[in-house]
Amino acid sequence: MQILFPSFGKEVLDVLNINGIPYSIDGNSIVFPSKGLRLVLVQLPAPEQPGLNADERHYAGYETFWLYEDRWKSSKTATTQRLLSRLGIFRRLHGRLCSVVSVNNCKDYGITPEAFQAKVQKFLDAFHTYGYLKGQKDYLLIYKGDIVAAAQFRHTYDKTGISGRQVSAVHEQTIPASQPNSKQPKLPGNKQPQQADRPQPQHLHAYEWTRYASLPDVRIAGGMGKVLNQFLSDVDKHRSPNAENTSVKPHAHVMIEVMSYSDNEWSSGDAYRKLGFKLTGNIPPVTYRIDPKTWKRINPRQWEILKKSIPDKEIQSYRIIQNRGSRKWVLLLSDEELLPRR
């Protein structure tokens, strides 16, 4: 069956032509031989057609990323900038020249806590694929007074009394390789359990890195790492012996886990790998409804609530698609490994 080039793809080609980017067309793909990239354009089904399942085809020889019609229609300007950035047209900044701002120090930058949260929300709603999340630990990356990136983290759980061996099994990875030739985690002061079959109990603090987005036409070298280091520093301060409400006794052996996801539509997740994260799983595609007015995606939980207020005759206008799924990444650090980050 012949695969037709999507109608919205003509607008994408206009962007490429204006910027003098060479390409070739292959079915519903735009190929960039000099970049080793393939962009697959995904046309949404008409409202009366069945839902669009995730395309399971594999394209050998090229790094592949995907552009769905709803992304193009809902945020054309930001998506255009993001596309050009992927193709090598972007502004470069160095993370070392940026400042990390949180609710703890925002007043030092002339920002009230209320205004700080509003700025994070406005930025992520504009530039992150899935927008702002409430109830998170928020950060901004600022360069010469301008916001260039934003991030959010959340605490997921604490677990006490878990052994190093259990941590390794649960997270599908070993205790960090900085502890060679030992089945047990290296404890503070080089003290080891007296019995090898009874590992020293550990405290595991788990967090999720839920959002990170930068200006779509900007590459910030070291930006993600700088935000992550600040978050880990804040976590370390919160659980230190002098901090209030700490749940961990001084000198206890502590493991810190930070988990995140990369979106398979646009990224292979290499940025996480470079930060020391390990790939621990693949998340299957998620089914979404598309708002016919805004072209925004509605996840299954949101849809269960929303559909109750939509007349039956209008339900069909909400098209059904599946995304490309995601990859799960985990960073697992011992207390000793936090030392270089402090």
31 and 99, same domain (yes or no): no
pTM of the complete model: 0.82
Q: Provide the number of structural domains found in the chain.
A: 2
Establish if 304 belongs to a structural domain: no
| CATH code: domain of residue 82 | 3.40.960
Establish if 180 belongs to a structural domain: no
105 and 214, same domain (yes or no): yes
- Domain with 125, as residue range(s), is 93-157+203-280+327-341
Establish if 196 belongs to a structural domain: no
Tell me the pLDDT of the chain (342 aa) as tens digits. Answer: 456 799 999 999 999 999 999 999 999 999 999 999 999 999 998 776 656 665 556 677 789 999 999 999 999 999 999 999 999 999 999 999 999 999 999 999 999 999 999 999 999 999 998 999 999 999 999 999 999 999 999 999 998 866 555 555 545 443 333 333 333 333 233 333 333 344 454 789 999 999 999 999 999 999 999 999 999 999 987 665 444 444 545 445 788 999 999 999 999 999 999 999 999 999 999 999 999 999 999 999 999 999 999 999 999 899 999 999 999 999 999 876 665 554
Give the whole-angstrom CA distance, residue 221 versus residue 146: 16
pLDDT tens-digit readout, 59-69: 777 899 999 99
Here the tokens at position 93 are 């900044």
243 and 276, same domain (yes or no): yes
219 and 76, same domain (yes or no): no
| CATH code: domain of residue 211 | 3.40.630.30
CA distances from 28 to 7, 40, 42, 72 (A): 10, 6, 7, 15
Here the tokens at position 111 are 């920002």
SS3 track for the chain: CCCCCCCCHHHHHHHHHHCCCCCEEECCEEEECCCCEEEEEECCCCCCCCCECCCCCCCCCCEEEEEEHHHHHHCHHHHHHHHHHHCCCCEEEEHHHCEEEECCCHHHHCCCHHHHHHHHHHHHHHHCCCCCCCCCEEEEEEECCEEEEEEEEEEEEEEEEECHHHHHHHCCCCCCCCCCCCCCCCCHHHCCCCCCCCCCCEEEEEEEEEEEEECCCEEEECHHHHHHHHHHHHHHHHCCCCCCCCCCCCCCCEEEEEEEEEECCCCCCHHHHHCCCEEEEEECCCEEEECCCCCCEECHHHHHHHHHHCCHHHHCCCEEEECCCEEEEEEEEEHHHHHHHC
The one-letter code for the residue type at 194 is: Q
The answer to whether 307 and 315 are in contact (CB under 8 A) is: yes
The angle subtended at Cα 324 by Cα 156 and Cα 273, nearest 5°, is 55
